[in-house]
Every structure is written in C-alpha cells, then in structure tokens.
Amino acid sequence: MSHYKINELFETIQGEGSFTGQPSIFLRLQGCPVGCSWCDTKHTWEINLDSEVSSDVVLHKTAETDEWVDLDCDAILRIIHSKGFKAKHIVITGGEPCMVDLKPLCEMFEQHGYSCQVETSGTFEILVSNNCWVTVSPKVNMRGGYEILSSAMVRANEIKHPVGTEQHVDDLKALLTLHNITDTPVYLQPISQKERATKLAIDTCIANNWRLSVQVHKYIGIE
C-alpha cells in the first residue's frame, strides 16, 4: 500500500489555471528540493522526521508549518469522506508531489468518482493515472539545480509559468521550442501579484495568444 506525507488536506476553490473557480480538495504533500526563491509554501520543503504528527494535528492547522502525517490511500479517502467535503476534484500539490509515485493515489480517487489534477515543477518523472490532469509549472535555473524533463513537458495538459521579468518569458519560450510544445495551453502567472509582473504577463499573453492566471484565491482572501 502506497503511503504519502501529507502537509495539508482542505477544501476550497481552485484559483489558478484551467480549473479556476472549480471547487477542489487540495492534498498538499511534504518535500521539495527545487528551491524556488519566490515559493509561497517553503514550509513544505524539508521532510523532518521529528515533524511527523497525527492526522488530527494536520487537519486542524491554523498556521503554515512543516508538520506532516504519513497516510495510505485508504486513510486519505476515509478522511475526505469523514470531513463531508462536497468537491469532486482533487488537486495534488506540494512541495513537489512528483517526488513519489502518484498513480495508486490517482487511480484510487478516480475509482471513487473524483477527478485528479497534479501540480508539478516538471523536474521529476510524472507517475500518475492516464486521466489525471497534469499542470506543469516549469522551474528553470532554481537553487536545487534540477532540469525540466522533456517527458514532463510532453505530458502536461497545461503549462503554468510564473513570471516577474523578461528573462522568465525568454526561459519559457526556449523550453517550448526545445520540447516542441505547440498546442498545450500556456498560462502566465505574475509572481506575487506585483504590478510590474502583472503588466508583463498581460502584455505577453496578448502578444503570444497565451492565457493569464492571477491566483484568484489570493485576491479574494481564501486558502
């Protein structure tokens, strides 16, 4: 039975990409070595063994912490049912969720009537079900030194790229050319919703017929 290190499990509205506005259950996994400087979930980076806690502690967090609980697929599903969540869309995020094999988890959810979406940096092999929606948010030249995998770019159902400077746009264009990506929807997401980054994203989307992702959940103040 596959086990996963869970940092958070909660129900909300998806605020990014193709599923913006979709009621969703977020399953946040612990662990990420990529090292993005602007990451807004840095508390998920390290897997400290002394931070393992009970599921009750994880489910009742009132602040961001590096605490996590080890759960198998059946236990995760039982918790979702016990919480009475209504959403039927599961977003598996992190951290970097593709550090582990997600296929058993995705297939279990799909067998129980849920759709799955995985959000990944594209730096690890993507092991998911065939029907899982894969959001690749490619992280280029980050501190961890990981390369974007061609297999990840090809598997992506959407590419969601954080931008703050022209260099970020150039990096994305180079990736798309390198991996011959032509038909996959591309979203630009302004880093930290800064005015300059937002204008750059809007102008670039118009120029390239790409799409804008503005992290709606942050604008309206929900998790």
Say how far apart CA 108 and CA 199 lie, in whole Å: 41
Is 165 assigned to a binding site?
no
Q: Quick one: CA dihedral 169, 172, 177, 178, positive or negative? A: positive
Is 35 assigned to a binding site?
no
Is 32 assigned to a binding site?
yes
Task: Provide long-range contacts, Cβ within 8 A and 24+ apart, for 72-78.
Answer: 72/1, 72/2, 72/3, 72/4, 73/1, 73/2, 73/4, 73/104, 73/105, 73/108, 74/1, 74/108, 76/4, 76/6, 76/9, 76/27, 76/105, 77/108, 77/109, 77/112
Is 104 assigned to a binding site?
no
Residue 64 and residue 39 in contact, taking contact as beta carbons nearer than 8 Å: no
Is 39 assigned to a binding site?
yes
Is 144 assigned to a binding site?
no
What is the CA angle 41-212-208, rounded to 5?
Answer: 125
Is 36 assigned to a binding site?
yes
Is 170 assigned to a binding site?
no
Other Cβ atoms less than 10 A from the Cβ of 65: the count is 15
Is 132 assigned to a binding site?
no
SS3 content of the chain, % helix, strand, coil (to 5): 35, 25, 40
Is 44 assigned to a binding site?
no
Is 23 assigned to a binding site?
no
Structure tokens at 46: 């390290």
Is 92 assigned to a binding site?
no
Is 38 assigned to a binding site?
yes
Greatest CA separation for the chain = 49
Q: Which residues are annotated as a binding site for [4Fe-4S] cluster?
A: 32, 36, 39
Q: Which residues are annotated as a binding site for Mg(2+)?
A: 41
Q: Which residues are annotated as a binding site?
A: 13-15, 28, 32, 36, 38-41, 93, 95, 137-139
Q: Which residues are annotated as a binding site for substrate?
A: 13-15, 28, 93
Q: Which residues are annotated as a binding site for S-adenosyl-L-methionine?
A: 38-40, 95, 137-139
